[in-house]
Chains A and B, each alone.
Chain A
Amino acid sequence: MNFVTLAARNLGRRKGRTALTVLGVAVAISLLFSLLSFNSGYESQLNREIDSLGVHLLAVPKGCPYEAASLIMHGGVIPKYLSAQDLASVREIDGIKIASPMLLHQFYVSGSPHVVYGVRINETLLLKPWWKVEGRFFSDDEAGVIMVGHSLAEKENLTVGQKIPFGPQREEFQIVGILDRTGEQDDQFHFLPLAEAQRIFRKQDRITTVAVKVEDVREISRIAGEMEKIPSVQVVTMAQITGTIMNLAASARTLLLSVIAVALVISAFGILNTLLMSINERAQEFGMMKAIGASGLDIGRMVMAETVFLTAAGGLLGVGASLVGSGLIESLVKSWLPYAPGGSFLFADPALLAFCLLFSVLMGLICGLYPAVKSSRTSPMEAIRGGME
């Protein structure tokens, strides 16, 4: 016999009440766990996505808002362009490894957007060395050739060698390659040689952006500064893009966090209420224990053990439930967000699991403090007078 069995038996006395309290804690902890794992998952997923661009800096036309930079990540059209001269100026700057021009265009087929990238293939492959292709990559001087992303090919039943009408003039283009799945936005896009894209969309010598990879990431700010000196160019660093999206996400997160804070407070009061009820019912019992040799500390420890039992059980249940139901929670959370990266970002991070369980124990220690102190002060007289009052 020890304090743990004593506490466990006591909780078994009021099974319904114990179960409800555990459930309350479980809900709060599972919310907490979901938010936190979402949080770390969201950031790492976003960073991965930005890494997958393989780009450190983007030169965009002046006046192009930062939000446009995120359009570049997901496609979209910016109504302003850079010139070949701008590209040349960028290339003059020291410390740039790759400066690759791109033209973006977007058109709609039955309401859904199609994004076209005009690219220089060799430079693009340096930026995205992980690209693999079924069929082949086109070369920059070919005409009438196109490559498509994996998901796009799947969705539209496209195969290598197939000829499709494309562009405003419905010219015939041959699909020379289908990119292997990257798990990123690239899976959704059309790719053309830059010159072909400029020709069919009538944007001779125009580019939407210059994607820059630097030799040494420590030089990013110097290089960005020099690029800013080119009159028509505005520079967007990936850190800025991340920051913009993170800021948007932060407001959604604040909302979620306040919901969770409320849930935690409610469940804490639930626990406190249960405990106070239970120690009031047992005042005589505590008095008896004191009479037979328990110290105040013993009584307090027992109440504490019961509380931590309750909340730790709730924590386990909550974490377990949110692992099982993470898919559901994720789709719920994603619908709240201004920008949700692809891929899953709820995963069982062991550190987070440990944190949530620890948090539930901590919650028990805090909620149990007042009831424990209160019951430790029970006078042994209570038992002997036996409800004379």
Chain B
Amino acid sequence: MSIIEASGLTKVYRRGREEIYALKGVNLEVQAGEFIALVGPSGSGKTALLNVLGCLDAPTSGMVKILGTETRGMKERDLVSLRRENMGFVFQRFFLMPTLTARENIELPLLFSRKKVSPGRIEEILALVGLQDRAEHLPGQLSGGEMQLVAIGRALVNDPRIIMADEPTGNLDSETARRIYQLFQELNEKGITLLTVTHNPELARLAGRTLTLRDGKIVGQG
């Protein structure tokens, strides 16, 4: 079954009187369990596409279906729960709460989803991202790579089916970046669908499928 389906997606940003076409008709189908890398030059619309697919932003026209559900016309409240139940997000700049420890950052989405998980589940996630011994550290006491691992842990805590990552390794050295992608592969093997934007062709090769964007259109896959 296709977990994400999009057709005829356009996204227009207005800056004053100027109109910027970030997406110019994107058609896409993602099967459950795929690992997809989005590549392309800067300004080609990768972030715009990810935001629209992740329901963080509405397309100007076109259609997005998540797990078979049309998102157009959905209420904000329903979009929030759709995202929260099914998707985890990882950002280039981590966006951890500086006042919370690694463990608390990982637990943060539970505050919003009002889900209870066993303490064992948090330990499991800490072990999966390899941060058992840094659990009580604040983000300021962690390296960039460790911060991104916390952010991935946070994306996992609600048991999402899909993880969307926008240049998750953009701020990391290549060694750490490789470690992050290996973790993505592990997650993918557990059945999680992954969509990740990257500039790094070497990392893109670790994904199952690569989509190349140029000028708001998908111009190639492989």
> In the complex, what distance in Å separates the CA atom of A385 from the CA atom of B22?
13
B111 and chain A: residue at smallest CB distance: A1
Which residue, of A6, A291, A383, has the highest number of chain B Cβ atoms within 10 A?
A291
Q: Which of B77, B91, B97, B109 contacts A386 (CB 8 A)?
A: B91
A292/B154 contact (C-beta < 8 A), A2-B111, A6-B111 known:
yes
Q: Mark A282-295, 1 if CB is under 8 A from B, else 0.
A: 00110011111111
A140 CB within 8 Å of chain B: no
> In the complex, what distance in Å separates the CA atom of A179 from the CA atom of B96?
76
The answer to whether A380 touches B56, judged by C-beta atoms less than 8 angstroms apart, is yes
A269 CB within 8 Å of chain B: no
Which A residues, 357 to 389, have Cβ-Cβ distances below 8 Å to chain B? Answer: 379-381, 383-386
Which A residues, 1 to 31, have Cβ-Cβ distances below 8 Å to chain B? Answer: 1-3, 6, 9-10, 12-13
B84 CB within 8 Å of chain A: yes
> In the complex, what distance in Å separates the CA atom of A285 from the CA atom of B98?
10
The answer to whether B108 touches A292, judged by C-beta atoms less than 8 angstroms apart, is yes
> Given the complex, which residues of B lie within 8 Å of A298, measured CB to CB?
111-112
A381/B56 contact (C-beta < 8 A), A291-B89, A292-B109 known:
yes
A118 CB within 8 Å of chain B: no
> Given the complex, which residues of A lie within 8 Å of B97, measured CB to CB?
6, 9, 285
> In the complex, what distance in Å separates the CA atom of A13 from the CA atom of B111?
20
The answer to whether A1 touches B104, judged by C-beta atoms less than 8 angstroms apart, is yes
Q: Which of A10, A285, A295 contacts B95 (CB 8 A)?
A: A285
Q: Which of B91, B99, B166 contacts A9 (CB 8 A)?
A: B99
Q: Mark B83-115, 1 if CB is under 8 A from A, else 0.
A: 110001101110101111000100111111100
A101 CB within 8 Å of chain B: no
A384/B112 contact (C-beta < 8 A), A9-B99, A12-B99, A13-B99 known:
no
B51 CB within 8 Å of chain A: yes
Residues of B contacting A: mostly: helix
The answer to whether B56 touches A291, judged by C-beta atoms less than 8 angstroms apart, is yes
Which B residues, 145 to 162, have Cβ-Cβ distances below 8 Å to chain A? Answer: 154-155, 158
Which residue, of A2, A3, A298, has the highest number of chain B Cβ atoms within 10 A?
A298
> In the complex, what distance in Å separates the CA atom of A294 from the CA atom of B95?
14
In the complex, the number of residue pairs spanning A and B with C-beta atoms less than 8 Å apart equals 78
> In the complex, what distance in Å separates the CA atom of A292 from the CA atom of B95?
11
> In the complex, what distance in Å separates the CA atom of A385 from the CA atom of B93?
10
The answer to whether A381 touches B158, judged by C-beta atoms less than 8 angstroms apart, is no
Q: Which of B77, B83, B166 contacts A384 (CB 8 A)?
A: B166
A12 and chain B: residue at smallest CB distance: B99
> Given the complex, which residues of A lie within 8 Å of B83, measured CB to CB?
291, 293
B136 CB within 8 Å of chain A: no
Which residue, of B76, B110, B112, has the highest number of chain A Cβ atoms within 10 A?
B112
Q: Mark A153-188, 1 if CB is under 8 A from B, else 0.
A: 000000000000000000000000000000000000
A149 CB within 8 Å of chain B: no
Q: Mark A263-301, 1 if CB is under 8 A from B, else 0.
A: 000000000000000000000110011111111101000
The answer to whether B92 touches A386, judged by C-beta atoms less than 8 angstroms apart, is yes
A293/B158 contact (C-beta < 8 A), A3-B111, A384-B51, A384-B91 known:
yes
The answer to whether B104 touches A294, judged by C-beta atoms less than 8 angstroms apart, is no
The answer to whether A295 touches B99, judged by C-beta atoms less than 8 angstroms apart, is no
A386 and chain B: residue at smallest CB distance: B93
> Given the complex, which residues of A lie within 8 Å of B84, measured CB to CB?
292-293
> In the complex, what distance in Å separates the CA atom of A117 from the CA atom of B4?
99
The answer to whether A295 touches B98, judged by C-beta atoms less than 8 angstroms apart, is no
The answer to whether A381 touches B51, judged by C-beta atoms less than 8 angstroms apart, is yes
A288 and chain B: residue at smallest CB distance: B95
> Given the complex, which residues of B lie within 8 Å of A386, measured CB to CB?
91-93
The answer to whether B91 touches A383, judged by C-beta atoms less than 8 angstroms apart, is yes
A284/B51 contact (C-beta < 8 A), A9-B100, A290-B80, A292-B154 known:
no
Which residue, of B88, B98, B111, B154, has the highest number of chain A Cβ atoms within 10 A?
B111
B123 CB within 8 Å of chain A: no
A295/B56 contact (C-beta < 8 A), A2-B111, A288-B91 known:
no
Report the minimum CB–CB distance from B198 to chain A (whole Å): 15
A298 and chain B: residue at smallest CB distance: B112
> Given the complex, which residues of A lie within 8 Å of B186, measured CB to CB?
none
12 CB-based A-B contacts, threshold 8 Å: A1-B110, A6-B100, A9-B97, A9-B100, A285-B95, A290-B80, A292-B155, A293-B80, A293-B109, A384-B50, A384-B166, A386-B93
Known A289-B108, A380-B57, A384-B166; further 13 A-B contacts with Cβ < 8 A: A1-B100, A13-B99, A285-B95, A291-B89, A291-B91, A293-B83, A293-B113, A293-B158, A294-B80, A295-B112, A296-B76, A379-B57, A386-B91
Please report B residues at the A interface, Cβ cutoff 8 Å.
Answer: 47, 50-51, 54, 56-57, 76-77, 80, 83-84, 88-89, 91-93, 95, 97-100, 104, 107-113, 154-155, 158, 166
